[in-house]
Amino acid sequence: MNISPNVNELLFLPLGGTGEIGMNVNLYGHNDQWLMIDCGVTFDVPLKREDDIKPLVRKHRVVSADLSFISNRRDKLCGLVLTHAHEDHLGAVVTQWEQLQCPIYTTAFTAEVLKRKAYRANIPFDLPIVVVDANSELDIGPFTIKWLPTTHSIPEANALLLSTPVGHVLHTGDWKVDNNPVVGEGFKDAIFKSLQQKNIIAMVCDSTNANRAGHSQSEKECEKGLGDLISRANGRVVVTCFASNIARLITLAKIAKATNRYMCLFGPALENMVSIARATGYWPDDFAITPRRHVGYLPKHEVLIIATGSQGEPRAGLYKLAMNTHRDCDLDESDTVIFSSIVIPGNEKSVKRLIDLLAERDVKVVQQADTNMVIHASGHPNSEDLKKLFNLVKPKCVVPVHGEPMHLSACAEVARSQFIPSQLVGLNGDLYRLAPTLSIKRKAIDAPRIAIDN
């Protein structure tokens, strides 16, 4: 289909992430140019359902959106803006680089994550990354982009204000209202309230937790919950969490110090993220990491292990501990494993298998459902957070993204409840016209996905 935005139009075309959680790839079109926001990956359905017979040998493919729509008109792609460093937002940049080859705009932490991915993938040239500060404003093609710092579950998450002569759009990226995010500053109402004067024509909004009532929990809440569990444990404590949650890692380092435990990292992803946090100034100098080979020589009650593998991944540190095949540590009945994470939909069986393996070794396991204390906080907005942002910004229209259809509908419903005049609910491949008038063309392009790694 020949889609070419004219000078009076502002178009939105999601290639990924709308109708699913993961693989976010968003295009905005105006005056014959396109701007891409985020370029992430997701896990597709398992290639084989072997897990029914042999748990944990199931194979996921890492997939990305098919970018041929934009690579076929690469001269019209004025740039790629990355909102934050989660894999579902930047995981495909390196592998899909041949198709993009445009300037990349992002903040320092995200740039560092991307550079290291490129280095590991042996990209033979420097990525053209323009590092911007929080609160920057830049002209990129026919768009003016203003970075708006927000709070999420990784440092330097940003919403974006896209301005064109035909209207302003707020692209929220991933966010929640967190007044005490542990890393970085708390959510600032004033940043978003100031957008009311702009008459935002559309707010393209994270819908992940739109069907959850109440407010999201603050990252700070985890300190109390995890601190309580760890201080009451007698043997070793293993905490598994997402490696990119620097705030959670800092919280755990703080608890390690307070409870006289040595903190060790089991998993290269954790070592990489702590190294990035150090390089970008987020890691406090006085929080030491003990080399993991020392763990076996330490008294059990002085050990706090942070391990990857909260989703039951067979090659991760926690799985090796559960199988008793980790070279640095054998767990036993005096030890505790805390899941400071959620089970990502689709991973229920592999997580259950992991917990069964730990139970066979009589290791105590604590998941969020087992305690009233907060041991994990999501990075996405519950319905009360959405209501708050809708009322701060007062957009003319809400475009729910970053969710499965039920999450998108729930986000639209919250918008309706707050008297937002319009909601446009669509899917990947639908063409949303945001200016001069609101409309949606269903299935304007095919939105296939392609495997980029097995």
Residue 66 binds Zn ion (CB under 5 A): no
Site for Zn ion in 247-286 (CB under 5 A): none
CB 156 within 8 A of CB 174: no
Could you tell me the smallest distance in angstroms from the CB atom of residue 24 to Zn ion? 6
Judged by CB, which is closer to Zn ion: 160, or 329? 160
Cβ-Cβ contacts under 8 Å for 105 (sequence gap 6 or more): 79, 80, 81, 82, 129, 130, 132, 138, 140, 145
Could you tell me the smallest distance in angstroms from the CB atom of residue 389 to Zn ion? 16
Residue 176 binds Zn ion (CB under 5 A): no
Judged by CB, which is closer to Zn ion: 86, or 248? 86
Could you tell me the smallest distance in angstroms from the CB atom of residue 322 to Zn ion? 27
Q: Which of these ranges, 78-86, 164-172, 289-297, 319-327, lies near Zn ion under the rule CB under 5 A?
A: 78-86
Residue 219 binds Zn ion (CB under 5 A): no
Q: Which of these ranges, 98-106, 120-128, 172-180, 288-296, lies near Zn ion under the rule CB under 5 A?
A: 172-180
Judged by CB, which is closer to Zn ion: 17, or 142? 17
Please name every residue paired with 262 in a beta bridge, in sequence order, or none if there are none: 303
> What amino acid occupies position 11?
L
Could you tell me the smallest distance in angstroms from the CB atom of residue 191 to Zn ion? 18
The torsion angle over the Cα atoms of residues 238, 242, 244 and 250, rounded to 10 degrees, is: -40
Q: How many CB atoms sit inside 10 A of residue 285's CB?
A: 7
CB 247 within 8 A of CB 182: yes
Q: Which of these ranges, 79-87, 262-270, 311-319, 433-441, lies near Zn ion under the rule CB under 5 A?
A: 79-87
Report which of 264, 254, 250 is spatially closest to residue 302, judged by C-alpha positions.
Answer: 264
What whole-number distance in Å separates Cα of residue 409 and Cα of residue 423? 9
Site for Zn ion in 87-106 (CB under 5 A): 88
Q: Which string of b and e fits 316-335 if b means at least 16 CB within 10 Å? A: bbbbbbbeeebebbebeeeb
Could you tell me the smallest distance in angstroms from the CB atom of residue 41 to Zn ion? 11
Q: Which of these ranges, 167-175, 271-279, 311-319, 437-445, lies near Zn ion under the rule CB under 5 A?
A: 167-175
Judged by CB, which is closer to Zn ion: 174, or 178? 174
Q: Which of these ranges, 80-88, 175-183, 301-309, 333-341, lies near Zn ion under the rule CB under 5 A?
A: 80-88
Residue 279 is encoded by which pair of tokens?
A: 């390089």
Residue 443 is encoded by which pair of tokens?
A: 């299935």
Judged by CB, which is closer to Zn ion: 88, or 156? 88
Could you tell me the smallest distance in angstroms from the CB atom of residue 379 to Zn ion? 6
Sign of CA dihedral 278, 283, 284, 287: negative
Residue 156 binds Zn ion (CB under 5 A): no
Residue 23 is encoded by which pair of tokens?
A: 């693989």
What whole-number distance in Å separates Cα of residue 302 and Cα of residue 156? 33
CB 26 within 8 A of CB 12: yes
What whole-number distance in Å separates Cα of residue 117 and Cα of residue 364? 36
Burial of 42 (0-12, 13-18, 19+ CB in 10 A): buried
Could you tell me the smallest distance in angstroms from the CB atom of residue 26 to Zn ion? 11
Task: Find the helix or strand (DSSP H, E) in which 405 lies.
Answer: helix 405-417
Task: Please provide residue 380's backbone torsions phi and psi, each rounded to the nearest 5 degrees.
Answer: -120, 160
Judged by CB, which is closer to Zn ion: 66, or 88? 88
| List 9, 174, 223, 335, residue binding Zn ion (CB under 5 A) | 174
Judged by CB, which is closer to Zn ion: 290, or 347? 347
Task: Please provide residue 445's backbone torsions phi and psi, each rounded to the nearest 5 degrees.
Answer: -135, 160
In this structure, the chain runs to a length of 454
Could you tell me the smallest distance in angstroms from the CB atom of residue 22 to Zn ion? 7
Q: Which of these ranges, 85-93, 223-231, 292-300, 331-339, lies near Zn ion under the rule CB under 5 A?
A: 85-93
Q: Which of these ranges, 61-69, 83-91, 130-138, 245-253, lies near Zn ion under the rule CB under 5 A?
A: 83-91
Residue 238 is encoded by which pair of tokens?
A: 């293993």
Could you tell me the smallest distance in angstroms from the CB atom of residue 21 to Zn ion? 7
Could you tell me the smallest distance in angstroms from the CB atom of residue 89 to Zn ion? 6
Residue 20 binds Zn ion (CB under 5 A): no
- Total residues contacting Zn ion by CB under 5 A comes to 3
Cβ-Cβ contacts under 8 Å for 299 (sequence gap 6 or more): none
Could you tell me the smallest distance in angstroms from the CB atom of residue 185 to Zn ion? 18
| List 58, 60, 86, 292, residue binding Zn ion (CB under 5 A) | 86
Judged by CB, which is closer to Zn ion: 174, or 313? 174
Q: Which of these ranges, 166-174, 253-261, 276-284, 285-293, lies near Zn ion under the rule CB under 5 A?
A: 166-174
Q: Parallel, antiparallel, or unpaired for β 104-106 and 129-131? A: parallel
Residues that bind Zn ion (CB under 5 A): 86, 88, 174
